[in-house]
């Protein structure tokens, strides 16, 4: 006598829980993407046609009031060299992106480049400076 099973196994897959999970992930990413601010310091960058892309290690900002910022922290011109040494210490070849407002005189830009050159001489490193620009219209 053959024994038959009363409960048959179902081979169909329920997508109800999967759609709930997708909607929860969608809501999570929508909420977290609105909290991210890419540039905290508002600058009007100079225009250029060149497209140079590099992996940036740190960013130095100079706003229209000629104030220096290392990432988001305000620093003075005198503190620039020491702060750069601390920020660039772990790497031998780093890229420093300089974001200067288009109205900033060249002397302020040169002071950042000089600071990087002093860091390179002191630590025997090869850090580079790239001036950030916006596309030409």
| Arithmetic mean of pLDDT over the chain | 82
Percentage of the chain beyond pLDDT 90 is 15
The side-by-side arrangement of strands in the sheet containing 58-62 is 73-75, 68-70, 58-62, 95-100, 128-131
CB distance 43 to 61 below 8 Å: yes
SS3 assignment, position 65:
coil
Rounded distance between C-alpha atoms, residue 6 and residue 28, angstroms = 43
pTM of the model: 0.61
Contacts of 51 (CB under 8 A, 6+ apart): none
Domains of the chain, CATH where assigned: 47-135 (3.30.420)
Rounded distance between C-alpha atoms, residue 84 and residue 120, angstroms = 10
* pLDDT greater at residue 53 or residue 109: 109
- 30-39, 79-88, 122-131: segment of lowest average pLDDT: 30-39
Helix (H) and strand (E) counts in the chain = 3, 7
- CA angle 68/71/72 to nearest 5° reads 80
- Comparing CA positions, the residue from 114, 40, 112 lying closest to residue 71 is 40
Q: What is the pLDDT of residues 41-94, one digit of tens each?
A: 666 666 667 666 666 678 899 999 999 999 889 999 888 888 888 888 878 788
SS3 assignment, position 17:
helix
Residue 10 scores a pLDDT above 80: no
* pLDDT greater at residue 135 or residue 50: 135
């Amino acid at each position: 006598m053959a024994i038959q099973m009363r409960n048959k196994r179902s081979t169909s897959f329920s997508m109800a829980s999967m759609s709930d999970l997708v909607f929860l992930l969608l809501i999570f990413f929508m909420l977290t993407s609105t909290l991210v601010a890419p540039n905290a310091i508002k600058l009007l960058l100079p225009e250029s046609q060149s497209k140079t892309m590099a992996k940036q290690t740190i960013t130095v900002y100079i706003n229209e009031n000629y104030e220096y910022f290392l990432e988001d922290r305000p620093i003075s011109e005198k503190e620039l060299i020491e702060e750069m040494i601390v920020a660039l210490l772990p790497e031998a070849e780093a890229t420093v992106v300089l974001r200067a407002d288009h109205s900033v005189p060249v002397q302020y830009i040169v002071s950042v480049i000089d600071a990087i050159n002093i860091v390179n001489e002191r630590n025997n490193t090869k850090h580079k400076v790239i001036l950030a620009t916006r596309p030409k219209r």
